[in-house]
Amino acid sequence: MDLPKAYTHETVEPKWYARWLEWGLFEPRGSGTPFSMVIPPPNVTGSLHMGHALNNTLQDILCRYKRMDRYRVLWVPGTDHAGIATQNVVERQLAAEGLTRQQIGRKNFIERVWAWKHQAGNAILHQLKSLGVSCDWKHERFTMDEGLSRAVREAFVRLWEESLLYRAERLINWCPRCKTALADIEVVHEETDGQLWHIRYPLAEEPSRGIVVATTRPETMLGDTAVAVHPEDERYRAFHGKKIRLPITGRIVPLLADPYVDKEFGTGALKITPGHDFNDFEIGNRYGLDKISIFDADAKLDGQAFRARGETGDWIARYDGKDRFEARRMVVDELRGGGYLERTEPHRHALGRCYRCSTVVEPYLTPQWFVRIKPLAEPAIEAVRKGAIEIVPEGWANSYFAWMDNIKDWCISRQIWWGHQIPAWYCSRCDGNNIIRGTMDEITLTKEARPIVAREAPRLCPKCGGQDLVQDPDVLDTWFSSALWPFSTLGWPDPTQDLKTYYPTSTLVTGFDILFFWVARMIMMGLKFMNDVPFRDVYIHALVRDEHGQKMSKSKGNVIDPLDLMREYGTDAFRFTLASMAAIGRDIRLSEERVAGYQNFVNKLWNASRFVLMNLNGNENNARQETRALDAAELNLPDRWIRSRLAATITEARTAIDNYRFNDFASVLYQFTWHEFCDWYIEMSKLALNGAVGGRVDQSRRFLLEVLEQILLLLHPAIPFVTEEIWQVLGPNRPSIMSEPYPKPERRWTDRAAEAEMDFFMEAIRAIRNLRTEMNCPPGREVKVVFCGPAEDLAALRSFEPYVRALARVGAAEYGGDGERPKGAATAMVGSVELY
């Protein structure tokens, strides 16, 4: 029964993690109230970063606490297939071999992604394990597991059957690099310095007159089908009803008067490109304008788009195949050459970029699948408004409402290969003209194609009995499967015991960056398919920044690898740091010094434990119940005090964690452990153990052990490894600390009189030490102290004299009878301190 002089996290951490697994301690146990959480599934492509570390540390603290507190805890881990991100990774590998996915074909490509997933995809889970997370690995799921894929198909089909899903040609955000549609929230708007080009469009009838439009995207004029002005704009009243002949294309377009146009902006005249601008699209719909899609999927000019309309001219050949930015330069040059470019001015505006690859997105007219979202959003809004779901900190509820109130239909189809292929098929016989076969096995579907939606591939066309059915080549947005995560991981659509027991889950811990991507959608889908919220509480934690408050990013080179910190300072120190800085609603500025500071705390706990251990004689455990039940009358003051303080600490720690105040939790325990238990209680216990203050020595030993064990139990959720290590040395061969109940304060422990008395004595000791320092008294040198004050206080001090002697190095004490001194003010009672 001994602790090594130094704590070695390198060997202790893996040892205990392996044993916890072996003992099945992460699996739900007992018959307590269920407490369940699902992990925000990290991307299979990911590696552990600070965000994951914080997110999972907080979840683990909750789980370990609840588990010890006798809840039946299930924490479901897993990973997300991360469609575009993963596809990009594997495509890059192919590129290194000089290949493209198109060259190897869809089937081979998907096999290749799976191979990659099996080989490298679970790295992040191993990293999570080294963080100590106590999730139930037997429940591990992957969003493309067979079970979860079935859930995805089921959800899709049900939405379709209830007309909450439709396929239609709409203007969507298109990433020309990923070559897929994106949902609105997958577009990151970025303020960018651009230009505003003022272009003169001549009237068809009188080319000498014209109207000047202002645009940030001159190349889109090739797709213009109208010009609009405000109906009450006096400048343009004379133009109403006129036709305009566009430069370059020579296309004749109408001039519209529409109040949407802002008279103040630019020239007050707006070119309308319904095929490449969301507003123009709306206007186009109102006036029945042609929507010309001037680009292909690569955002290169598509000559066919013009030829198909019967347009002619050598400009078509000139622009055909040109990239959109090249086209812009060409258009500007050509306009300038033709005298159409009136002027340009610098203009700052928000540019949309792909959230995966930062390519400037292109509004693009294509057939896509959409979720009709309003009917799903309404109950989801209600759930938060009525408190069925509580968002912490509540400020985020505002963002949630703002987004949900203005939510637009969700584009869920993606033109990539890695993901859940859409469970819709098309009949070659019925729909032949709408199915365009490309090279290899690629097909393209027109907007008129009529999908047959089914859970499993149909053998025959239900209409004509045809056998040649092709599946929709698109896959679903990754977030579609994530939205089902809280119930798909529990076995849905089967009515499993897990679902019954653990749904709705208790708490979701996540970052605000995926509030809309994920949280909002889980709420909508949970309510839709489970008729109940997916979780009761949503705890939204902050971002981990560097010590200067900068976002960590590879490009800035300020990324701190959590694994490095864990290796250097120990996982417990790292976890405790994260917890202690996780104040509600505030970003975390992580500095390495801070972690080092908490490593000292771990070390302090270790050494305090060594002290306790070396003072035990082996019989203490037998009498623990007795110790806990002892009456105040049987105890000396320090014992009464520490027990009372312990009770208060337990209450505060529980309250903190119950309210997701992880920083309070950490701070309360730090304070108690170091500054009450170590600084005072242990120091005073030395006298008791030496027999210098009377009382029973065995009782003092038991008290030391008892309080230390309570400290270990309290701290375990935050620093699981070192607490288990000490726990096991204190009681060899006993069950894991994880299976112990979380401390509860007993009413009799609270002893306000003892606390007041100790405060008084501690103040006296500090006053003496203070005076010693002021008079430059060497630390080892004993002094004589004269106390003056009310007789009652003097008597109290006299009873405490052995402690005063030891803790303030007092060799002799005198008690003068100055009744004038204020009662209870210990500092004032220290009349004089002198060398003797």
Partner RNA sequence: GGUCGCAUAGCUCAGCUGGUUAGAGCGCUCGCCUCACAUGCGAGAGGUCGUAGGUUCGAGUCCUACUGCGACCACCA
> Does the protein bind RNA through residue 673 (CB under 7 A)?
no
The residue among 363, 351, 347 whose CA lies nearest residue 191 is 351
CA distance 508 to 825: 50
Q: How far is the CB of 366 from RNA (least distance, A)?
A: 18
68: its two tokens? 């010890």
Q: Which is nearer to RNA, 38 or 602 (CB)?
A: 602
Q: Residue 558, interface with RNA (CB under 7 A)? A: no
600 makes contact with RNA (CB under 7 A)? yes
Contact 279, 237 (CB under 8 A): no
Q: What is the DSSP string of 136-196?
A: -GGG-EETTSHHHHHHHHHHHHHHHHTT-EEEEEEEEEEETTTTEEE-GGGEEEEEEEEEE
DSSP 438: -
CB–CB of 455/157 below 8 Å? yes
Residues near RNA (CB under 7 A), total: 86
Residue with Cβ nearer RNA (312 or 600): 600
Q: Counting contacts by CB under 7 A, is residue 349 touching RNA?
A: yes
Q: Any contact of residue 584 with RNA (CB under 7 A)? A: yes
What are the residue ranges of helices labelled H in 234-386?
278-287, 303-307, 314-319, 324-337, 374-385
Q: Which is nearer to RNA, 446 or 773 (CB)?
A: 773
Q: Among residue numbers 757 through 816, which ones bind RNA (CB under 7 A)?
A: 766, 769-770, 773-774, 778-780
Shortest spacing between CB 594 and RNA, in angstroms:
6
The H-assigned helical ranges of 406-514 are 428-431, 478-483, 485-488, 497-502
**Counting contacts by CB under 7 A, is residue 583 touching RNA?**
yes
- Name which position in 69, 277, 620, 725 contacts RNA (CB under 7 A): 277
Which residues, numbered 147-206, are part of the site for RNA (CB under 7 A)? 184-185, 188-189, 191
Q: How far is the CB of 132 from RNA (least distance, A)?
A: 19
| Continuous segment of H or E residues that includes residue 703 | helix 697-715
Q: By C-beta, is 628 or 686 nearer to RNA?
A: 686
Which residue in 766, 630, 643 sits closest to 699, CA to CA? 630
In whole angstroms, how far apart are CA 246 and each of 329, 504, 641? 17, 59, 89
Measured distance CA(811)–CA(815) in Å, rounded: 14
Structure tokens at 132: 């100590």
CA distances from 155 to 158, 164, 269, 828 (A): 5, 11, 46, 75
Minimum distance from CB of 498 to RNA (Å)? 33
Candidates 4, 395, 432, 817: give the one binding RNA (CB under 7 A).
395
The one among 458, 504, 597, 831 contacting RNA by CB under 7 A:
597
Nearer to RNA, 664 or 725 (CB): 664
By CB under 7 A, tell whether 516 contacts RNA: yes
CB closer to RNA, 144 vs 261: 261
Decide if 70 contacts 132 (C-beta within 8 A): no
Binding flag, residue 835, RNA (CB under 7 A): no
Choose, by CB under 7 A, the member of 57, 421, 663, 700 that binds RNA: 663
Beta strands in 27-164 (DSSP E): 34-38, 72-76, 78-79, 141-142
What does DSSP say about strands 252-257 and 226-229: parallel, antiparallel, or unpaired? parallel
Residue 664 sits in the site that holds RNA (CB under 7 A): yes
Question: Contact between 108 and RNA (CB under 7 A)?
Answer: no
Provide, rounded to whole angstroms, the least separation between the CB of residue 295 and RNA. Answer: 16
546 near RNA, rule: CB under 7 A: no
**Residue 409, interface with RNA (CB under 7 A)?**
no
Q: How far apart are the C-alpha atoms of 717 and 736, rounded to whole Å?
A: 13
Residue 403 lies near RNA (rule: CB under 7 A): yes
Report yes or no: 74 and 110 within 8 Å, Cβ to Cβ.
no
Radius of gyration of the chain (CA): 36
Site for RNA contains 593 (CB under 7 A): yes
Q: What is the footprint of RNA within residues 446-505 (CB under 7 A)?
A: none
Give the pairing type, strands 830-835 and 783-788. antiparallel
Contact flag: residue 617 with RNA (CB under 7 A): no
How far are the Cα atoms of 377, 378, 402, 408, 534 from residue 383, in angstroms, in the given order?
10, 9, 15, 19, 10
Minimum CB–partner distance for residue 185 and RNA (Å): 6
Is position 103 an interface residue for RNA (rule: CB under 7 A)?
Answer: no
Q: Closest approach of Cβ 777 to RNA, in Å?
A: 8
Check residue 575 for interaction with RNA (CB under 7 A). Answer: no
- Interactions with RNA, residue window 197-256 (CB under 7 A): 214-217
679 binds RNA (CB under 7 A): yes
Binding piece for RNA, criterion CB under 7 A, among 96-104, 346-354, 704-712, 789-797: 346-354
The verdict on 266 binding RNA (CB under 7 A) reads yes
398 is a site residue for RNA (CB under 7 A): yes
714 binds RNA (CB under 7 A): no
By the rule CB under 7 A, 581 interacts with RNA: yes
**145 or 757: whose CB is closer to RNA?**
757
Question: Does position 6 bind RNA by CB under 7 A?
Answer: yes
